[in-house]
Chain A
Amino acid sequence: MKFSKSTLVGAVSAIALAGIAGNVQAAYPEEPISYVIPFNPGGESDITARFQEPILEEILGVSVNVSHRPGGGGAVAWSEFQNNAEPDGYELIGVNIPHIIGQPIQRSDAGFETDNWEIITFFHSTPNALIVPANSPFNTLEDLVEYARENPQAVTLGGSGTYSANHLDMLRLEREADIDLTYIPFSGTGPLPAALEGNHVAGIFNYTMLGVQMEDRVKVLAVASEERVPALPDAPTFKEQGYDIVGGAYRGVAAPAGTPQEIITVLEDAFAEANRRITAKQEPLGFVMEYITGDQVDEVITQLREAYAPILEATE
């Protein structure tokens, strides 16, 4: 059996492709692959990795070991990875935007750089959403903006973490609408439903998933995506309402800088296939499946860095 590189790229079915890749690239993969999640078990990154794990194993034919290295909002694992991991394709790590953009700008001792690795793919994104309780006086984004204009700082919006995707897009809303809000960071998404239900905050800036999860108890005023999210067909985007805010968290996976391109390609295809197979499970939850690879990765990073950097630098 002889296959050229072009047939490889042209192959449509990823299963068949994996089989072919196995023949051509006899060298990779032949050892177990380690897949580090830089967060606690139970989060979105972890759950997604757990779903990818068996599919990746099936496609690649080697075992894929998911392990956790939480700390510092991901920074501990990322700095260790950039310093120590071998570029042989057997060490992978989960990467998240905006964390990898924000932390190096904001901290003097983050220990890693935004670009110092080969990002294989971003496999999904979770757009930000502005959510208020069902009994809130605000029925539209305009209501909230009006009120905030008359009462500076009086509107409190909760979100997950400081300088996170939530926080940064809330700051963008402040700039775009020229209003002054008060952001209250919580540790992760976990405590946010309670803050909303208990009326401890006027609203929250969080991901679309929470809007889906609490559908009958909240109003989603706006979603920060280009188009409406399939799981929330009735929630308008910021763009529709005249604010140019598109953003959220992107989750993906990276290999160390200097990993050979052939290996990256094999992994790209494996993750894409895994993504296709778990779409039916993740899309109804509010995830937006993405297939961002190669140059598109740099585009996304550049675009978001341009959007966030002025905000981050203004806070220094």
Chain B
Amino acid sequence: MEMLLEALASLMTFESIITVLVGVSAGLLIGSLPGLTATMALAVLLPFTFSMEPLQGLIALGAVYMGSIYGGAFTAILINTPGTPSSIATTFDGYPMARQGRAYEALAGATIASVIGGLVGVAFLLLLAPPLARWAVAFGPSEMFWVAMLGLTLVASLSSGSLLKGMIGGCIGMLLSTVGVSPVGGETRFTFGFPAMQGGIELIVALIGLFVIPELLNMAAEGRSNISESGEFGKTKVGIRQVARHILGKPVNLIRSCLIGQVIAIIPGAGGNVTSLVAYNEARRFSKDPQSFGKGNIDGVVASESSNNVMVAGSMIPLLTLGIPGAPPDAIILGVLLMHGLRPGLDLFTESGVLTNGFILSMGMAALMLLPVGLLGARLIHKVVIKTPYHFMVPAIAMVTILGTFALRNSLLDVGIMMIMGIAGYFLRLIGIHAAPIVLGLILGGIAEQGYVQTMLAAVVDPIPWLRLVSNPLSKVLAALVVLGAATAMLPAWLERSGRLDKGSPNRGDDS
């Protein structure tokens, strides 16, 4: 407790506050550019922290992390482009809201949800780090396989319409994830003889292509902007207070999303992208009005954004206690800790407790800082997007996506892959295969493959190898959850199909 106060005191300096402010703003800017991920934001800004004191450096990086995860929501809502993969689920309802002229409402909702999520994550980290850390190591290969399977049950709710087409999309995504070097066999697959294809299809490249390019093509074909102007400031103004009241009025959604965010954050290997998708899916499943999801329901935005910001501090639990990065950006934080001579472990909370607690508290401060910085930023960006004529908008967005895709791996081939996937995505959407299941397959394919093949490898001496998949208590529980999840997801779809097949089909996919 004393340590906590001491840590708090060390944060209340002018220097620290400025560091957090600058860090959050820089993170927000980088995070909102599609292709520039939180990992990259941290890597780019890392050298600036070398000249700082250890605490100051960690504060800056924590703030950048928080800002960049939040920044992804901006473009997700305004141009249907998840700025970071953690914001995929934000597009599902955020973008329809923007098209209805409720962009600012969605942005405000995302901001408030992010602030709350960020604070909840910090609270978990401060209070429950050691017990929760034991959880992280319970997830071995077979458990990871089931986590991926659990994620795949999301296909049912993401496929908006035909379940079969959703499954086909999911399979295509999983197959795309196998291009390149195999994670277990170590060979190159499906490169068709091109050395450059050894790099495979990066999730973010596919993500940008599948989400942005079809929107651009749509805008061009229709000859007008996809985003409605009716929600401009001063006209149908929805105040920040009303949005806050709406969100806080539904605490169950918030609590559920934050818990999901925390649980998934400590599973190593499942990052913010899985977190927000699962939280979104559960919000929809438990909603009284699941039909309104995907058509501009703010609860979807709240679920996605609160859960992925919980992850920022939440994924630090296995990192700080065990040295296990819970999400990709944490690997960089780990490097910084080690370079400053701080070894992850419980010592970090006792011997160098002031530093660690200072770092944790600074993330809380960064979360609070999102409110003013975010709302101001939202206002500015929103204005720019609304006022810009569409014939500027289309080439400008295209340029930013090209730059972002290129910057990810310094690869011009990636830009080509992005465009081709986007163009294919446009036509696939017309025949009912949507981007979301493909992306889901791409995210989970690698996790599922690794878990499955590793389990099979470890079971070479067993008489029936595949029984290893359900040999641990945790994997049994997860397997049961998969069956349950699949059943509850399929049942309504099946009932709907057999009940009112003809009515169901015409309005499929129109709004997505």
Contacts and interface: CB of A to CB of B under 8 A. Distances in A.
Query: A and B bound?
Result: yes
Contacts of A68: 43, 409-410
Contacts of B345: 216-217
Given A69-B410, A72-B198, A153-B460, A107 B187 contact: yes
Given A187-B183, A201-B458, A70 B43 contact: no
Nearest to B268: A194
Interface stretch (A115-123, A154-162, A253-261): A154-162
A73 interface: yes
B318 A184 contact: no
A46 interface: yes
Interface stretch (A23-31, A75-83, A235-243, A268-276): A75-83
A86 to B, nearest CB: 16
Given A47-B335, A68-B409, A200-B141, A80 B268 contact: no
Interface string A58-89: 00000000011111110110011000000000
Given A73-B181, A197-B137, A215-B343, A41 B198 contact: no
A50 interface: yes
A151 B39 CA distance: 43
B411 A76 contact: yes
A47 B339 contact: yes
Given A40-B39, A109-B195, A191-B268, A162 B186 contact: yes
Contacts of B268: 190-191, 194
Contacts, number: 162
A213 B141 CA distance: 23
Contacts of B450: 186-187
A22 interface: no
Contacts of B409: 68-71, 76
Contacts of B140: 195, 198, 200
- Chain B CB within 10 Å — which of A79, A111, A217 has the most? A111
Nearest to A107: B188
B323 interface: yes
A195 B322 CA distance: 11
B103 to A, nearest CB: 32
A182 interface: yes
A153 B323 CA distance: 29
Size bin of chain B's contact surface: 35 or more
Interface string B28-62: 00000000000110110011001000000000000
Interface in B150-186: 180-186
B200 interface: yes
A68 B411 CA distance: 10
A71 B323 contact: no
Q: Main secondary structure on chain A at its contact with chain B?
A: mixed
Given A71-B180, A107-B188, A185-B184, A194 B136 contact: yes
B244 interface: no
A213 B323 contact: yes
Contacts of B118: none
A111 B199 CA distance: 12
Contacts of B485: none
A297 interface: no
A53 B47 contact: yes
A214 B338 CA distance: 12
Nearest to B186: A162
B416 interface: no
Nearest to A198: B137
A72 B184 contact: no
Given A70-B409, A184-B454, A198-B139, A76 B196 contact: yes
B338 A285 contact: yes
Nearest to B331: A42
A305 to B, nearest CB: 18
Contacts of B344: 213
Given A182-B460, A213-B344, A42 B185 contact: no
B269 A191 contact: yes
A134 to B, nearest CB: 13
Interface of B: 39-40, 42-43, 46-47, 50, 136-141, 180-188, 191, 193-196, 198-200, 202, 268-269, 318, 322-325, 328-329, 331-332, 334-335, 338-339, 341, 343-345, 409-411, 446, 450, 454, 457-458, 460-461
12 contacts: A40-B328, A42-B329, A42-B334, A42-B335, A72-B180, A72-B195, A72-B198, A73-B198, A75-B198, A186-B450, A190-B268, A216-B345
Q: Which 10 A-B pairs have the closest CB atoms?
A: A71-B199, A162-B186, A111-B195, A72-B198, A41-B43, A200-B140, A198-B137, A42-B331, A197-B137, A42-B332
